[in-house]
Amino acid sequence: MTGLREVGKRRPQAGIETRIRGGAIYTQDVTLPGMLYGAILRSPHSHARIASIDVTAAAALPGVQAIITAEDFKNRRYYHLGGTYSDRRPLAKDKVRFWGEEVAAVAATSLSIAERACALIAVEYDVLAPALTPQDALRPDAPEIHGKDNAVAGRNLAVRFSADYGDIAGAMAKAHFVLEDEFAHGIVAPCCMETNGTVARFNPDAGTLELWTATQAPYFIRKEVAHLVALDEHKVRVRSVEIGGGFGGKSKVCEQEALAAMLSIKARHPVKITLNRRDEFVSGKTDHAKRIRIRTAVAEDGRILNRNVSVQIDNGAYTAYAPTYVGASRQRTTCLYRIESAHYDCDLVYTNKVPGGQYRGMGAPQTIWAIESHMDDIAKRLNRDPLEYRISQANQPGDVTPLKWRISTCGLTDCLQNVGKMIRWDEKRNSPAPLRGVGVASMIHPSGGVIYQEGNFSNSRVELTGDGQIIVHTQTADTGTWQNTTLAQVAAETLGVNTSDVSVSHMDTDQAPDDLGSAASRVTFVTGNATLHAAEHLRAKILTGLSQQWNCGVEDILIENAVARHGTEPHRTADLTEIARLVGPLSADGFFTTPGERPDPKTGEGNYAATYVFGAQAAEVEVDRDTGRITVLRMAVAQDVGRALNPTAVEGQIYGGVLQGIGMALLEEMVFEEGRPVNASFLDYAVPRIGSAPKIDISLVETNDPLGPYGAKAGAEPTINATIAAIANAVFHATGIRFKTLPMSPDRVLAALEERDGKKPALKPWKRVYNAEVAAVRVMYPGVVFPALRKVGTKFARLPEKSKTPRILVPGSIAELLEFPSNKDTKSRIVAGGTDIFVGMKQGIYAPDQLLDVTRLPDLQGISLERESAPVLRIGAATSLDSVSRNELAARYFPALVSCINLIATAQIRRVATVAGDLCQEKRCWFFRSAFPCYKLGGSTCPCFAVLGDNRHHSINGAKRCAAPNPSDLAPLLSALNARVKVIGKTGIRYIPIEELYLWSGLTKLEKHELIEAIEIPIVPDTSSAFRKFGLRQGDFAEASVAVLAEWSDHRVRSIRIFAGAVSPLPMRAIAAEALLTGTRLEPSLVSAAAETIVEGSLPLHDNEYKVPLLINLTRQALLAASSHSA
């Protein structure tokens, strides 16, 4: 298609002018007169009966305007997929089924009042045993989560599906070999930067409801909310706002919309609910965990005779759209590559966990990871190059898949060849550098599939206003994908105007005709076609109008560059304003529905989509043998996009999709304990940061689909599909290790590398006296200790009181600070940077009555050289980390200090966090930080959750009743540097060596009325120092760190101090290693031997054994770094 003027061009993002200046209005920015704030009371149990709910005390709180419970919604449930799948109420009734489920909601004049009111709602629960994994839930004696009305396929089974495609027996008879494998992964979350939120305004006089809500699909919001609050759909209007990311997480109704609506109806005021980040993890729609078993029958020539796939999907506590997710998984497994026959079966299992929803790819990234890992193994067995083998099996135009998909345009072969070229496959594959590897994977994705019960249709409206503006009205929502830009380009191209002449108004259900929303890869294709039709109709209307005005035939008029011209009378022209004056205002609608066939309900067979998207990705990775970190050096991505309507937009989708795929592959996974997420924050749940972004080469393959608008197919969603697989195959190439669980995080990778190499460091646990006792208790933990403490002990837990607002006092001098009244009823805390305390108060681990802000105290600031007796570097306690890292004295005398600080947190945090704050920060154990009633938080009657729970971050050494490690990076370093703190108290000054500062992780020897004034580091000549740290992601807390100070004389180590952090509750001194190295020249062989001894006396837990080799390796690195300074 030639001569295109707008389509295919790099146009800037629609609306960028406002967005780039901070002027765009997102839901959290919507503020209406008289607006109230809503808060949600959530279930503190994974499974329980609700015996009673008493709102009296909450209602009496001044400022509370409305409280709602299940009763307010009568018996209505979300439609979701309807029928037996309709299993959820807006607020729990009778029973709660997951930790965090919505039980009641309050609207009040401020958020803090609403939150306090929630705390005053008295709910009595009868706790039930939960079923937390699909395996548990499928046991015959498993607790029943839903009754038979919803668990129609068996106990806790929402769906049980099984179908055969093609002649399986015939295929198996021809098999040269059969390969079988199993893959599994946990739950990831979309993590839109804008959390879910809604502002609802009920107008009591008109009986109408308006909703400003962060959604991808106004259509479904209106439908669900109207039904739940018993209004006619036409009385509900979804308004236009900006959306801060969707990725599927906002593709259907969430929970806060109906709650805000009902609160507004009851309070007769607008109500805003904004989920906080924690709630977003706890209750927002996540992806699903899956277990995927594959068995493939392969012919001698490599043909895939049969692919047999068995999948188990964790539904969570309620069914949102998971039956569709089952369909998506069936499609990928039966349609990627030329397959002769197939079998697919799947269980969708209820568990007492957060309900799964949709996330970019609908499970395809992990499904394809399983299939493509398997394909690599097949290629290996066949002794064929994985890229060449894939090309030989690639889908081709005209193919019909076992699921009866009829492939029309298909650029898979080109895509595979292109990524091979871009990544320099032959060279890298055949002669890889050590610990480097390349891998490749393909993907398939429907474009314009019949995914909804409604089918898959779009209406779009294009308007020429009276003043000559062109506006596209669409009910879809641009969540950041640039869909509004590409829709504008389609309209502009069709109308003969410039893209900049067209604006797009999205979402408004009163202004735009019905459309199913921005999900399931549908906007470019389906809404794009509807917009194309609408623009054609509008163009026809304009031409007709002009031909009447100009007395000519429509064929005599040409519109180009936003100017209409009379073909034979060139002086007759009209720009848009003039056109509007002559013939406007005008508007035209366009409709498009996908020609895909509804799949057979029993088997899923049928030509489901209008067309299909293909693509391939190749990855080059490097694996760090010392730490297990996988670095993606480069990705090559080729995608059959039909036509790139706007290359910048498609490339943006590829960059973004690939990075989300890298997150799934290497970093992300929700971790649960008792069904409750323990890593519900961006600190603990690692979304990729900027340092994870590899170089990406892109090839857009244009197959010009006959059904697509200007030839385009879906582009945004499937960019993620092949990423995990390509990386996993590259890792296999680099290491020979096939990972069968995700993510391939450093802890797992390092453990696997150690196992591969048969390494087993000598732990010599007897070297630590307490270990025998600790080991004995650990043996009894599962059967005796934990159940008793959990059941009985936690009843006596004394947890900090929540939602208290402390007074902030700002003393002008230390003397004034020490004078502040403090008694046993007033809990005071000193706050400096506050980066720990302000967060900890929200986590429920601190509840001070007053905060004493010491940042204004001059004595606590600054860095200076003091030479009273021996020279020391004095750092004021409240000096920010950033000030230290930029300080010349610090850089001159203690380069290790500067490099250590640069590894702490992020630029913004280092700017305010202080040196003493880093030393005194509270422990980071994720059970403690999630306010579990643990030993440290709840008191001595409570258990340590880390013994049986996920303890990958915990201590390998020195744990007793608490396994939390010391979180400070400065603690081991300053201990090694022999630094001390100067402490001021009412009774005077004292000094504590930092190595002796701690009683436990997060607990110092400071008394109540004491404060650290400064840190003093002795400056000793002829020393070298080094610091090494490993965190799982950029800016993360350490999993292990090692600091070394060596004092030299005559090229030999006169004395050496070695401390480790993050592996034990206190900074851990490596006495044996020090002894081995004293008097030596730190020769590499000695260093290695000494490093091995640092783990002696360790007693790792079940998930943190990787810290053993990690610590050894970091110690070796730090020692070698310190030795190179010796000259």
Site for ligand FES in 171-230 (CB under 6 A): 193
Task: Using DSSP bridges, classify how beta strands 630-640 and 695-701 pair: parallel, antiparallel or unpaired.
Answer: parallel
Site for other proteins in 887-926 (CB under 8 A): 902, 905-909, 911-912
Give me the phi and psi of 699, to 5 degrees please.
-130, 120
Q: Any contact of residue 21 with other proteins (CB under 8 A)?
A: yes
| Tokens standing for residue 649 | 């937009």
CB 1115 within 8 A of CB 1109: no
Smallest distance, ligand FES to C-beta of residue 194, A: 8
6 Cβ neighbours under 8 A, 6+ residues apart: 489, 492, 493, 498, 499
Site for other proteins in 869-888 (CB under 8 A): 882
**Between 908 and 1049, whose beta carbon lies closer to ligand FES?**
908
Q: Any contact of residue 656 with other proteins (CB under 8 A)?
A: yes
3-class SS of residue 169: helix
Q: Any contact of residue 965 with ligand FES (CB under 6 A)?
A: no
| Listed ranges 236-244, 327-335, 532-540, 759-767: which one lies at the site for other proteins (CB under 8 A) | 236-244
Binding track over 173-192 against other proteins, x by CB under 8 A: -----------------xxx
Task: Using DSSP bridges, classify how beta strands 695-701 and 828-831 pair: parallel, antiparallel or unpaired.
Answer: unpaired
- In angstroms, rounded to a whole number, what is the distance separating the alpha carbons of residues 818 and 837? 20
Q: Any contact of residue 20 with ligand FES (CB under 6 A)?
A: no
**Between 510 and 697, whose beta carbon lies closer to other proteins?**
697
Among 36, 48, 151, 243, binds other proteins (CB under 8 A): 243
**Between 193 and 865, whose beta carbon lies closer to ligand FES?**
193
Among 197, 245, 496, 1067, binds ligand FES (CB under 6 A): 245
Characterize 566-588 residue by residue with b for buried, 16 or more Cβ atoms within 10 angstroms of its Cβ, and e for exposed: beeeeebebebeebbeebbebbb
**Between 284 and 439, whose beta carbon lies closer to ligand FES?**
284
CB 363 within 8 A of CB 305: no
Smallest distance, other proteins to C-beta of residue 224, A: 23
| Listed ranges 13-21, 380-388, 860-868, 1049-1057: which one lies at the site for other proteins (CB under 8 A) | 13-21
Site for ligand FES in 463-502 (CB under 6 A): 480
Site for other proteins in 246-305 (CB under 8 A): 246-247, 276-277
**Between 194 and 376, whose beta carbon lies closer to ligand FES?**
194
Q: Which stretches does DSSP call E strand in 226-373?
A: 236-238, 271-274, 290-298, 304-316, 339-350
How many residues touch other proteins under the rule CB under 8 A: the total is: 80
**Between 15 and 642, whose beta carbon lies closer to other proteins?**
15
- In angstroms, rounded to a whole number, what is the distance separating the alpha carbons of residues 741 and 752? 12
User: Is the omega angle on the peptide bond into residue 323 within 30 degrees of 0, that is, cis?
Assistant: no
3-class SS of residue 165: strand
Q: Any contact of residue 11 with other proteins (CB under 8 A)?
A: yes
Q: Any contact of residue 439 with ligand FES (CB under 6 A)?
A: no
| Nearest C-alpha neighbor of 696 from the set 615, 616, 629, 633 | 633
Amino acid type, 298: V
Smallest distance, other proteins to C-beta of residue 878, A: 12
Q: Any contact of residue 808 with other proteins (CB under 8 A)?
A: yes
Q: Which does 658 bind (CB under 5 to 8 A by kind): other proteins, ligand FES, none?
A: other proteins
| Listed ranges 386-394, 463-471, 503-511, 694-702: which one lies at the site for other proteins (CB under 8 A) | 694-702
CB 252 within 8 A of CB 358: yes
R_g (Cα) of the chain, nearest Å: 32
Q: Which does 708 bind (CB under 5 to 8 A by kind): other proteins, ligand FES, none?
A: none
**Between 218 and 480, whose beta carbon lies closer to ligand FES?**
480
Long-range contacts of 1073-1080 (CB under 8 A, 24+ apart): 1073/1115, 1077/1046, 1077/1053, 1077/1119, 1078/1053, 1078/1054, 1079/1052, 1079/1053, 1079/1054, 1080/1052, 1080/1053
| Listed ranges 88-96, 341-349, 574-582, 679-687: which one lies at the site for other proteins (CB under 8 A) | 679-687
Q: Which does 264 bind (CB under 5 to 8 A by kind): other proteins, ligand FES, none?
A: none
**Between 245 and 323, whose beta carbon lies closer to ligand FES?**
245
Site for ligand FES in 559-598 (CB under 6 A): none
Smallest distance, other proteins to C-beta of residue 110, A: 10
CB 623 within 8 A of CB 748: no
Q: Which stretches does DSSP call E strand in 901-1022?
A: 980-985, 988-993, 998-1000, 1003-1004, 1011-1018
| Tokens standing for residue 489 | 């380009």
Q: Which residue is nearest to ligand FES (CB)?
A: 193
Among 153, 435, 839, 1086, binds other proteins (CB under 8 A): 839
- Other CB atoms within 10 A of residue 1021 CB: 8
| Nearest C-alpha neighbor of 320 from the set 357, 283, 375 | 357
Binding track over 769-808 against ligand FES, x by CB under 6 A: ----------------------------------------
Partners of 123 in the beta sheet? 53
- In angstroms, rounded to a whole number, what is the distance separating the alpha carbons of residues 313 and 201? 38
Site for other proteins in 1029-1068 (CB under 8 A): 1034-1035
Smallest distance, ligand FES to C-beta of residue 244, A: 6
- Applying CB under 6 A, which residues contact ligand FES? 193, 245, 480
